Structure 1
Amino acid sequence: MKMNVEIKEGLEGIIACKTSISRVDIEDGKAVLEYRGYNIHDLARYSTYEETAYLLLFGELPTKKELKAFEEELKDLRDLPAQIIGLLTHLPPFTHPMVVLRTAISYLGSMDKEKHFMDYEHSIQKAKSLIAKIPTIIAYFHRIRTGQNLVHPNPDLGHAENFLYMLKGEVPDRIEARALDVDLILHADHELNASTFAARIAASTLADMYACVVAATGTLMGPLHGGAAQKVIEMLREIAVPWRAEEYVLKKLERKERIMGFGHRIYRNVMDPRTIELRNLAKKLAKMKDSKWFEIAEEVAKAVYKHKGLLPNVDFYSACVYACLGIPDDLFIPIFAMGRIAGWTAHIIEQYVNNRLIRPRALYIGEKGKKYIPLRERG
């Protein structure tokens, strides 16, 4: 079969499906991100992660009564089965937390007798359970690997606040809790990014939701996707002081090495709206906590724009936010997943509702028509 088509490497610019979950665009020279039609700046300023997750799952903002019921249900679902805690206890302490997370999610799937039920109601319930349990998995494993007692979920605390409490063993202050809450909102969805596309591909085969989320977590871990934030803080630690930033950038460029946290497939020459909000968060936290990381980041951003013309993306200032919150470097990617799980599950459900198997073609460029030579004749 002849394929006379233009190849789009990385599927750049290809429209693969229809969605009503989020919109990523550029209008009037500005980057746009909307969840279900709501501007990300408004959600970051006025919403909570729980309300945003509700919006992504159900398509509309909740009433006060609906939001209260949703928040209470998430709180009730935070606890982990004893088998999952046992798994976390027996995994090697050097295991990367993202490997732990995908393993635990797979184990949760093995315990769900209704995992193959893909109707809307069952799918929504699975989504709620995953949104609620992922923070507990992350916090528990960190405390286990560092030899600390587990801090169990506190039903009096909201989603982000409770995670920081379970992680550190003390209730965070209001500004810290709000900073993480906004970060989770900003990471909740972004159309067909690599991990969401992986989840939708899995869902198109009618794989169960846990399998779809495992596909997404594995994809997110790559340094060209969610792993970038961890690479950013490692870069900032290597630079160490603001006045070394430009020299570091120039040496990287001379060696033709990638500088993590810059560039975006869609927001090429415009600032990612999430970056604007995260920079504001990082700046606020820098004044309260440690300004070092923000100061170095600002110098790196200036140098990269000056010499390469690239703007920072969502991962760049996320690293500063997490560092100021005292979050270990290797938890940056799991926290990305903690926010993105609302979007992943919304996309999985959307794929189930109007499904068609995702099966693109490839242009074959190898040799053709080769004659098979029996082994005995090959010498």
Structure 2
Amino acid sequence: MLDLRWIRENPDAFDAALLRRGAEPLSAVVVELDESRRKLQTELQTAQARRNEAAKAIGKAKAAGEDADALIREVSDLKASVQEMEASERDMAARMDDLLAGIPNVLKDDVPDGADEDDNVEVRRFGDVPSFDFEPKEHYELGEALGMMDFETAAKLSGSRFVVTSGQIARMERALAAFMMDVHTEEKGYLEVSPPVMVRDHALFGTGQLPKFEEDLYKVDTGSYMIPTAEVPLTNLVRDSILSEEELPRRFTAHTLCFRSEAGSAGKDTAGMLRQHQFAKVEMVSITTPETSNEEHERMTGCAEDILQRLGLPYRVMVLCAGDTGFGARKTYDIEVWLPGQDRYREISSCSVCGDFQARRMKARYRPDGEKGTRFVHTLNGSGLAVGRTLIAVMENYQQADGSIVVPEVLRPYMGGLEKITK
């Protein structure tokens, strides 16, 4: 959520920020509603003060034996007027909250302009794209041939966009998650957290999924929601809190299941397990001061890259353009891994710096050293990595002509020393 005072004082910059995202200017609407509400608040305060003053005058008039009928009528009229103004003020406040809740974050100046993913800009690459002396297969072809990936049975159990993995493929998926978590917690300074995967609506509002993206979520009968990413519970660990500057940065990581309806993705990536309703992900979240959030963004992206480097997977880092940057982000790096079966790079991680956008929604603050007042923290989130997509990348990049899959060296200790997955 954006700072209303900043919008009021910088209407042109606010409209320019919206135009960069392809949205219509809103400064006139926001400022007009704000001015109307502030005017009403002034009138309300004046009426309340006069009501209190007249009520005291009634007592004095009666004590002096004077006629207080006019004052009584005035107090009665003022009471009704105050109630009407209070109701109007509440309505205006709700309208302003709804308006601000639907406005995306302001992009950083160095985010490139552009309309969609075709305008994203490559930052760097790692590793050489592998060459094969045979036609490389896609992950689902490999997995089904090995008898360890079953989409047909999953569809009978749960419908489309689900998979049942088994045997050494299932073990490799578990090994990948354990490897990622060990690196992040033992080497990168992240605190391991095992959060709930079901949250209330205020948690999703805090990180920006609600109210704008409700159709992408799974809502359960209790009114709670299944998390689309562990970013939600991890970031909300600091909601409604005031931290000391010494406590920052705080870094959290979690390996959880995630659930997405994939609304709007009909017809996209229907084959295989690239785009699933249920998937596993290792998430990283950082809570920082404003002065250190940009540096933390680069650090977090590096942590995700390190996982891919240790696995020996070729990838590239893209900075998302204005039109492709997510609702709550100020700047995002997408890490795209090479998939030989598709002969293209595909996203495996997004690392975003959100500034104080989420902190305002969560009321998450810190007290700077030597200051009495508080400031909003900055929040960051990133995939470190999407476990299923990493499994896909390992399978496709390490496939052999006979359909077997070589196990990357860093994963072998997690798989009992197994060097190759065979049928």
TM-score, normalised with respect to structure 1: 0.23
Higher share in strand: 2
Considering Cα pairs closer than 8 Å and 6+ residues apart, tell me whether 1 or 2 has the greater RCO: 1
Higher share in helix: 1
TM-score, normalised with respect to structure 2: 0.21
